[in-house]
A and B are shown apart, each in its own frame.
Chain A
Amino acid sequence: MSEEFNDNKTIQAQSSESISGGGSGAANDIDYVRPAEVGEQDLYHGHSFISKWVFCQDAKVIGVQYFLLATFTGIIGLILSWLMRLQLGFPELAGFMTAEHYYQFVTMHGMIMVVYFLTALFLGGFGNFLIPLMVGARDMVFPYLNMVSFWMFFIAVGVLLASFFVPGGPTGSGWTLYPPQAILEGTPGSGWGIMLMCISLILFVAGFTMGGLNYLITVLQARTRGMTLMRMPLTVWGIFTATVLAMLAFPALLVGALMMSLDNLLGTSFFMPTILKAGEVLEYGGGSPILFQHLFWFFGHPEVYIVALPAFGIVSDLISVHSRKNIFGYRMMVWAIVGIGALSFFVWAHHMYVSGMNPWFGFFFATTTLIIAVPTAMKVYNWILTLWRGNIRLNTVMLWCLGFIVTFVNGGITGIFLGNVTVDVPLSDTYFVIAHFHMVMGIAPLMVIMGAVYHWFPLVAGRMLDEGLGKWHFWITFLGAYSIYFPMHYLGFIGVPRRYFEMYDSPYMTSAVGMNEFISIAAFIVGAAQFILFYNIIKTLKVGKPSGHNPWKACSLEWLTPSVPPEHGNWGDKLPIVHRWAYDYSVPGAKEDFITQITPPSEVANTEVEKT
């Protein structure tokens, strides 16, 4: 493979030069940046189609691969949600659907959206694309491992989707996969389905660990000169902290999936007590179903923040760029991300208030859960304070951000309902919960993803997405999604339980029929509206306006590559040298309303820029 590295010789030579010649000459002293401690890494340059686009080691391509595959599984999740809403709103039209089907769709929709769509998209997609560019690295530190990570994800998705075609179909045990029912007859897919689900999750976690170690070490070790931790864009902070959470939380899921597979295949009894089934006592005994719930939610709650923290980070950057103003309280924002991340490991059992665990836990977990509301609220304040006295471009990207603030605050507040143990008792296992978590970790992160797509698409493709289509896409999605989930809370107040295939004619549920029809229609429209984006992307790739360099006039590094879209290696001959944080917008005295991270202080000597 050694001849593959020849391309890099020039790069290496130049970088070692810059190491020795860091800050020479008294005139440039204010521009001095500590020299790099290690030389540059070698990059493997693919030459064939396969090594360039399939088994590719360029983080940007891997990011796009992750993005596309996650979106593909997301569309399957979307179609499943349509089928569920058809059954709930118009059961007379869903005659083909049995209760088994319904529960399989519920399960696969949940698992796909949380793990294979949102997690893969934020960390695999945005993480890979943005981390090296934003910290000024040429690539991830382990490009080969990064490539393997994506293909593990590919296989995991394959195994997951294969379960649609095995005897018994996919598992229908709910996305929480609670034993004993997950592996007992009476639940659809209790044989092949649950086995493939566990295998797929294990593969996902393994693949994800490869990617995750890469993100962590790239952020810690491969930042360019001058890029201190407290100068990193919040996007990187969000993805970095989320990855730390993932590294610590996914093992719990892995262990849970392994132990359940052992119970299922070898007859162990980790989660299986003595069980009477169809008049016969099964050969299990002594296991604890609640143990699985602890393992699952020890993963499951940090998982919420694995999705939310990258969204927090990204939305902070988008709001800042498009308000032409620095993010308000950057240091507070960093510590809030880190604090939320740490606290998220101490709140998991708030998903289990009525699980039958020791009720004394309720006091502890209600307290920790409500404590986490404080740093979260600080983040919200800082977003809206960033808008305050800004110069707000009301473009598509900003609209998605504003939509995020509305849905996130709405969903966050209902989280305070459910986190407060007493309030949770009547509301848990009802539609209130469904409405809450879709609002806060479905719609809100989706708003960020969409904003991020409109924001960074020019960097990926070199062309600007169409604003008119983008605004239609936003308003249909935002208004539609809000009218799905806002009224749904009230179904929960009535007491309508979740995961009901059919409501029957309980007196207090018949009144919900009209609302269910309305919600279903809104869901069909919102789902369909997502195809506006696909149309927009295809159209833009063909005839879109070229974006040129740095179309949004952003300060952060990813827009400052020599070529747009950036090539393999990102930075051409010389790595960028960073002199400031990523938020020097509208600095008094500056000619333009932004000073990039690589602008040396000597060039903006007469401005009132704060030292970062």
Chain B
Amino acid sequence: MHAGIIFFLVILGSVLFHIFTPWYWTDVASNWGGMDDTITLTFWVGGGVFIAVCLFMIYCVFKFSYKEDRKAEYKPEDKKLERILTWATTLGVAALLAPGLIIWNQFISVPKNAIEIDVMAWQWGWQYRLPGEDGKLGTTQVVNINDNNPFGINIDDPYGKDDVMIQSDVINLENNRPVKILLRSVDVLHNWYVPQFRAKMDAVPGIVTYYWFEPNKTGKYEVLCAEYCGVGHYAMRGGVIVQDDQDYDNWLQDQETFSDLIAKQKILETSKTKLAKK
């Protein structure tokens, strides 16, 4: 069989695979539909170039395959053609870059009404902390972390007292309310990633990183660690439950704050000392 035919079938197969693939992205469940749109745009432009280049190549293979009596053209360069191709490519690339940068600008500009969530990662698990009624998270330090202070909140920080602590790998989010994910890690790199939300960012020990999104579909989603973090990486899963505001408020009511925890421990300690005295 002529090599050109096989190459043609490869290109045709690629196009058909794309049309009929059962494997494609999950329905977007956040405001980042724009990312899907840039992917689609890149797909059409890039895919078009790929097909055009390959078809041209296949055409040449058919048309100009070796004949004893033919002589190839002798034309070292064609300045005009090269100039046209350079500018056309530059324009195409700029057309892909521009929407990308616009959405990136949105991605790094967090809306003012976003609720901040402290996502704390370690080998291998997650836990979450929400600001209390004051709307501000207390500051933290790795060295403060112990059984009585699982998030390492600075005890003398007044903002920390009412922080809501969720010592579970599942977090609930309010539908249609932007969230700013504040990521930190106590040991190695991690990455809090929900494919349906599209966005992701590494959690880096020593600093706090962030990203934001606005969930817009209620339901349960799986959290995956997307940055390799050692042997347990593949098992480092979590969950997100996106709820309507009523359900979300009910859930929030039941969660424990930092001062609740401190109070509980005081009671425990006093009863311990009482026991000891007896």
| A36 contacts across to B, CB distance below 8 A | none
Query: Nearest Cβ distance between residue B237 and chain A, in whole angstroms?
Result: 7
Q: How far is the CB of A302 from chain B (nearest CB, A)?
A: 21
A103 and B142 alpha carbons, distance in the complex (Å): 28
> What is the size, in residues, of chain A's interface with B at 8 Å between Cβ atoms?
112
Contact status A325-B73, CB under 8 Å: yes
Known A356-B201, A390-B73: A370·B96 in contact at CB below 8 Å: yes
B233 touches A100 (CB 8 A): no
CB within 8 Å of B: which of A383-427? 384-385, 387-394, 399, 402, 405-406, 409-410, 413-414, 416-417, 420-423, 425-427
**CB-nearest residue of chain B relative to A421?**
B104
User: Are B74 and A100 in contact (CB-based, < 8 A)?
Assistant: no
Alpha-carbon distance between A377 and B45 when the two chains are bound, in angstroms: 13
Distance to closest chain B CB from A150 (angstroms): 33
Contact present for B186 and A180 (CB under 8 Å): no
Contact B23 A370 (CB under 8 A): no
Contacts of A605 in B (CB 8 A): none
Known: A325-B73, A394-B65, A402-B61. A426 touches B204 (CB 8 A): no
* Interface residue A8 (Cβ < 8 Å from any Cβ of B): no
Set of chain B residues within 8 Å of A181, measured between Cβ atoms: 123, 187-189, 228-230
Q: Interface digits, A330-352 against B, CB 8 Å rule (1 contact, 0 not)? A: 11100000000000000000000
B224 interface residue (CB < 8 Å to A)? yes
Given contacts A416-B93, A421-B101, A423-B38, contact A491 B46 (CB under 8 A): no
Q: Is A559 an interface residue (CB 8 A)?
A: no
Give the shortest distance, in Å, between B252 (CB) and chain A (any CB): 27
Residue of A nearest to B201 (CB): A354
Which residues 5-44 in B have Cβ within 8 Å of A in the complex? 6-7, 10-11, 14, 17, 21-26, 32, 34-36, 38-39, 42-43
B137 to A: closest C-beta gap in Å? 18
Binds B, one of A112-120, A504-512, A569-577: A504-512
A376 to chain B, nearest CB (A): 9
B268 at the interface (CB under 8 A from A): no
A556 to B: closest C-beta gap in Å: 16
Q: Does A600 touch B at the CB level, under 8 Å? A: no
* B251 on the A face (CB < 8 A): no
- Flag whether B78 is at the interface (Cβ < 8 A): yes
A502 touches B234 (CB 8 A): yes
Chain B contacts for A420, CB-based, 8 A: 38, 42, 96-97, 100
Mark A342-368 against chain B: 1 for CB-CB distance below 8 A, else 0.
Answer: 000000000000111001101100110
- Output the least CB separation between A235 and chain B (Å): 18
Q: Which residue of B lies closest to A393 (CB)?
A: B66
Q: Chain B: how many interface residues by the 8 Å CB criterion?
A: 102
In Å, the complex CA distance between A421 and B228 comes to 20
What separation, in Å, do the CA atoms of A380 and B89 have in the docked complex? 11
Q: Assess whether A187 is interfacial by the CB under 8 Å rule.
A: yes
Which residues of chain A are near B90, meaning CB under 8 Å? Answer: 374
CB within 8 Å of B: which A179-196 residues: 180-181, 184, 186-188
Are A409 and B50 closer than 8 Å at their CB atoms? yes
Q: A275 near B: Cβ within 8 Å?
A: yes
A355 touches B202 (CB 8 A): yes
Tell whether, in the assembled complex, residue B71 and residue A494 are in contact, meaning their CB atoms are under 8 Å apart.
Answer: no
B80 to nearest A CB, angstroms? 12
Residues of B within 8 A of A103 (CB): 228, 231, 233
Instruction: For residue A357, give the distance in angstroms from its CB to the closest CB of chain B.
Output: 9
Are the C-beta atoms of A186 and B97 separated by less than 8 Å? Answer: no
* CB nearest to A377 among chain B residues: B89
Among the listed A289, A409, A502, A610, which residue makes an inter-chain contact with B53, where contact means beta carbons less than 8 Å apart? A409
Question: Are B186 and A275 in contact, CB atoms less than 8 angstroms apart?
Answer: yes
B72 to chain A: which residues have CB within 8 Å? 323-325, 389-391, 585-586, 593
A276 contact from B14, B46, B186, Cβ within 8 A: B186
**Provided the pairs A289-B206, A380-B53, A491-B23 are in contact, do residues A423 and B39 lie with their beta carbons within 8 angstroms?**
yes
Closest A residue to B81 using CB positions: A385
Distance between Cα atoms of A373 and B90 in the complex (Å)? 8
What is the CB-to-nearest-CB distance from A256 to chain B, in angstroms, rounded to a whole number?
15
Interface contact B226-A425, CB-CB below 8 Å: no
A-B contact pairs, 30 of them (CB 8 A): A99-B234, A100-B231, A181-B189, A181-B228, A186-B231, A187-B230, A274-B143, A276-B187, A288-B207, A332-B77, A360-B108, A362-B108, A363-B105, A371-B93, A373-B89, A384-B56, A389-B73, A390-B64, A393-B66, A394-B65, A413-B49, A416-B96, A423-B39, A425-B200, A426-B39, A487-B17, A493-B23, A493-B39, A495-B25, A495-B26
Q: With A423-B35, A495-B196 given, can you name 15 additional A-B contacts, CB distance below 8 Å? A: A180-B205, A186-B231, A290-B204, A325-B73, A325-B74, A329-B76, A331-B77, A366-B97, A425-B200, A487-B17, A494-B23, A495-B224, A586-B73, A588-B71, A610-B76
* Chain B interface (Cβ < 8 Å from any Cβ of A): 3, 6-7, 10-11, 14, 17, 21-26, 32, 34-36, 38-39, 42-43, 46-47, 49-50, 53-54, 56-57, 60-61, 64-67, 70-78, 81-82, 85-86, 89-90, 93-94, 96-97, 99-101, 103-105, 107-108, 122-123, 141-143, 145, 183, 186-189, 191, 193, 195-196, 198-207, 209, 222, 224-235, 237
7 nearest A-B pairs in the assembled complex, by CB-CB distance: A273-B206, A495-B195, A356-B209, A413-B46, A181-B188, A389-B73, A387-B60
